Amino acid sequence: MERGLSRNTLASYRRDLHRYAEHLAAAGIENLAQVRPDDVTGHLASLRDGGLASSSAARAISAVRGLHRFAVRERLVPHDVSAEVRPPAPPRRLPKALDVDQVNRLLATPAEDTPLGLRDRALLEFLYGTGARISEAVGADIDDLELGEASAALLRGKGGRTRLVPVGGYARTALRAYLVRARPSLAAAGRGTPAVFLNARGGRLSRQSAWTVLHRRATEAGLPVDGPYAVSPHTLRHTYATHLLDGGADVRVVQELLGHASVTTTQVYTLVTVERLREVYATSHPRAR
């Protein structure tokens, strides 16, 4: 709470620490002062042996280390026994981005003659046109949008940070159509929520429902929804960043648009661009092979 973390992050940390408490209890440890470095290492080993992915295990151990740092800071224990325990380094996976043709197919799937079709089109255009996280999109309120000539959206990101991002012409048109022709009829079934994106009952669209929208529309567009290349809620955000960099945008600008606290996080997208350049070279240059 002090760090301003999102509700989803707090829920994840709560699960991680509950699992850690169960591990300690099974070892007969009832107080943090009794914990030794081997206990923390043993917990990490049990997570990996239990089939937890390295990325999830890394987050779980980060939560455990945060707990022990907190205990030292509050003088509940004299030493941080987790200081030397390093979380596993997850394999560096490149984000999977759609190409322009795939994006166009996806955005063309919602029919614009029904309220939900107009909503789905506006949601997909908003995600691709702003690079918003799915939680930022469903968390947006009407007052967060400025749809004039200099269109922009206020997004509320991780850690309580906000940022103002431009809204492109296609997204602006889709949002206007939805707000004028569809949202009033959806809102009539609810209790006056200020949310931009509403469900069929007039309430705020949830992250799970937004994921369902994307899954259904991706299926209609003939895009993969299973396996390693499945279209996920983060796919349009990855695609937004990759297309910006492919178009010559500076990585620092993309960092600001994505709301990344560190440019290091954004630089993974530059690897995608390099891979694409290699593909073009391999298929185009007569001496590439």
Instruction: Kindly report whether the global pTM for this prediction surpasses the value 0.85.
Output: no
The string of pLDDT tens digits covering residues 30-86 is 899 999 999 999 998 898 888 787 778 888 999 999 999 999 999 999 999 999 888
**Percent of the chain residues topping a pLDDT of 70:** 93
Domains and CATH numbers, the chain: 7-73 (no CATH), 100-280 (1.10.443.10)
Q: Return the active site residues.
A: 133, 158, 234, 237, 260, 269
Q: Which residue has the higher pLDDT, 95 or 74?
A: 74
**Could you identify the residue written with the tokens 């996280």?**
133
The whole-number pLDDT of residue 277 equals 65
The whole-number pLDDT of residue 214 equals 95
The string of pLDDT tens digits covering residues 231-272 is 988 889 989 998 998 888 888 888 889 888 777 777 777 766
Single out the residue of 289, 256, 247, 262 nearest to residue 97, CA to CA: 247
Burial of residue 278, with CB atoms counted within 10 A of its CB: 0-12 exposed, 13-18 middle, 19 or more buried: exposed
Concatenating the DSSP letter of every residue in 87-141 gives PP-----PPP---HHHHHHHHT-S-TTSHHHHHHHHHHHHHHHH---HHHHHT-B
Q: Mean of the per-residue pLDDT values for the chain?
A: 88
